[in-house]
Structure 1
Amino acid sequence: MLYKLNLEHILFLDIETVPQHQHFTDLDETGQHLWEQKTQYQRKDEFTAEEFYGRAGIWAEFGKIICISVGYFTHKGDIRSFRVTSFYGSENKILIEFKQLLQDHFNHAKHLLCAHNGKEFDFPYIARRMVINGINLPYKLDLFGKKPWEVPHLDTMELWKFGDYKHYTSLKLLSHILGIPSPKEDMDGSMVKDVFYKENDIDRIIAYCELDVVTTAQVFLRMRNEELLTDDEIKKV
């Protein structure tokens, strides 16, 4: 089935998220209490709620999206290219522009969304933040009433599981073992919060997010036993 999919019908994506506020003390009293309750089992007795707040970007109820990067294949004759672009700015702007992309170019039954760990993180996170921002869900993220085989989502981590639900493999590890060349990275996911709030360097975050999109596409190609993208084939738009 994987080999029969048309690459041009797949939108590869990745998101970067941070806590809604820079500091725990910026939350109101109710928010602080709810954060303490939400994370009590993850924190156990090792961290206070305030010490644990740096991880708030993981939860859609306490985080926000600062970048969505996407990539898609195009073919003109024998020439293949992978076009990458990003949405950034206010979260509301990001979500509206991403929704418009889906509605204008990836809104038919044949179209699919693909991300690494997307089913557990990216797709539900985007949907939840759209609801919080008062944005109607686009068809590709509105899963109510859909049967499992009708959900238009691909997940490279799920594909790698081969039915093993206990197995977690990071994108970095998967790309390494599949022999995908890894460009130099000047940051990792744990640094996004500080790069955003302290350094105010959104361009650095965009570059990091776009790299993950390209890597996800490369992993997908390897799973189909196809040639990897070359630098010349990757176009930033």
Structure 2
Amino acid sequence: MISKLNLENILFLDIETVPEVQQFSDLDKTKQTLWDLKSKYQRKEDESAEDFYERAGIWAEFGKIVCISVGYFKLQGDTRQFRVTSFFGDEIKILKDFKNLLITHFSETKHVLCAHNGKEFDFPYIARRMIIHNIELPHKLNLFGKKPWEVPHLDTLELWKFGDYKNYTSLKLLTHILGIPSPKDDIDGSEVYRVYYEENQIDRIITYCEKDTVAVAQIFLRLRGDSILTDDDIIHI
């Protein structure tokens, strides 16, 4: 039961991604053809591969990570802190810094990672981008040969499903119905491309990513029956 988990052993996280280059025309001809094939069944009938390219960040083969935000609890008596920090900038540096965090602070068997829809998106995306950049996977992301109960990942979307695998509930909807302050008060995922490439405002993306990370932790607390964090409990590092 999640109520028995030690909060200090959980690393909460969220990632933000964009297409690997700004414009479809910036891709080489082979990658353009591959994107055309990859996106064929997602596009509307009258929508071209180029028109659809702003959404390429969803796929690790055509996108890149621009921010990983993480949060973790520090408990001392009745005092509870949730510390949040972010890795951003060059993708290779983001991935290496995140890997170093896992190795140095979250490498023990008791440690687990937690994200919303993390098993379908965040965790495999990070792992795929590491492999693309020839970065050896840290133990927490290397799932080869692991049995389901050995995978050190928690997913608040999966926890909310309660076995109903046809159901999808967004982070925004789940925070609203659980009475948690919304993380979507500035931008949402559909705007990250524009904010990153057209407005060059990485700070807004970092803030958005960190709010999502806090929201994941808040949802986890609600699922345990614990009180949610106050603003005073949240420390940005």
Q: TM-score, normalization: structure 1?
A: 0.98
Structure 1 residue 84 corresponds to structure 2 residue 84: yes
Which digits, 9 at most, give the CA deviation of each residue in 1:140-165, with x for residues without a partner?
A: 00000000000000000000001111
Letter in 1 for 2:185: E
Following TM superposition, the consecutive aligned residue runs of length 4 or more in structure 1 with deviations greater than 3 angstroms are: none
Query: 1:43 deviation in Å?
Result: 1.2
Structure 1 residue 142 corresponds to structure 2 residue 142: yes
Q: Note the aligned Cα RMSD (angstroms).
A: 0.9
Which digits, 9 at most, give the CA deviation of each residue in 1:170-206, with x for residues without a partner?
A: 0010011111122671111111001001111110000
What's 1:180 paired with? 180
Instruction: Name the SS of the counterpart of 2:193 in structure 1.
Output: helix
Counterpart CA distance in 1 for 2:199 and 2:38 is 29
Letter in 1 for 2:172: K
Equivalences for residues 1-237 of structure 1 within 5 A: 1-182=1-182, 185-237=185-237
Change (3 A) 1:87 1:183: closer
Query: 1:76 deviation in Å?
Result: 1.7
Instruction: Name the SS of the counterpart of 1:141 in structure 2.
Output: coil
Instruction: Name the SS of the counterpart of 1:210 in structure 2.
Output: helix
**Of 177-186 and 80-89, the range deviating more from structure 2:** 177-186
Which digits, 9 at most, give the CA deviation of each residue in 1:88-139, with x for residues without a partner?
A: 0100000000000000000000000000000000000000000001100000
Counterpart CA distance in 2 for 1:36 and 1:44 is 13
Identity percentage of aligned residues: 70
Query: 1:77 deviation in Å?
Result: 2.0
Counterpart CA distance in 2 for 1:181 and 1:27 is 39
Gaps of at least 5 residues in structure 2 are: none
Instruction: Name the SS of the counterpart of 1:55 in structure 2.
Output: helix
Counterpart CA distance in 2 for 1:193 and 1:209 is 14
Gaps of at least 5 residues in structure 1 are: none
Instruction: Name the SS of the counterpart of 2:186 in structure 1.
Output: coil
**Of 76-85 and 56-65, the range deviating more from structure 2:** 76-85
Letter in 2 for 1:5: L
Query: 1:46 deviation in Å?
Result: 3.3
Paired residue total: 237
Change (3 A) 1:129 1:24: same
Counterpart CA distance in 1 for 2:211 and 2:232 is 15
The answer on whether the counterparts of 2:172 and 2:183 sit within 8 Å (CA) in structure 1 is no
Counterpart CA distance in 1 for 2:230 and 2:56 is 36
Letter in 2 for 1:129: R
Counterpart CA distance in 2 for 1:163 and 1:142 is 25
Query: 1:36 deviation in Å?
Result: 0.3
Counterpart CA distance in 2 for 1:46 and 1:128 is 31
Counterpart CA distance in 1 for 2:54 and 2:184 is 25
Letter in 2 for 1:102: L
Counterpart CA distance in 1 for 2:33 and 2:75 is 52
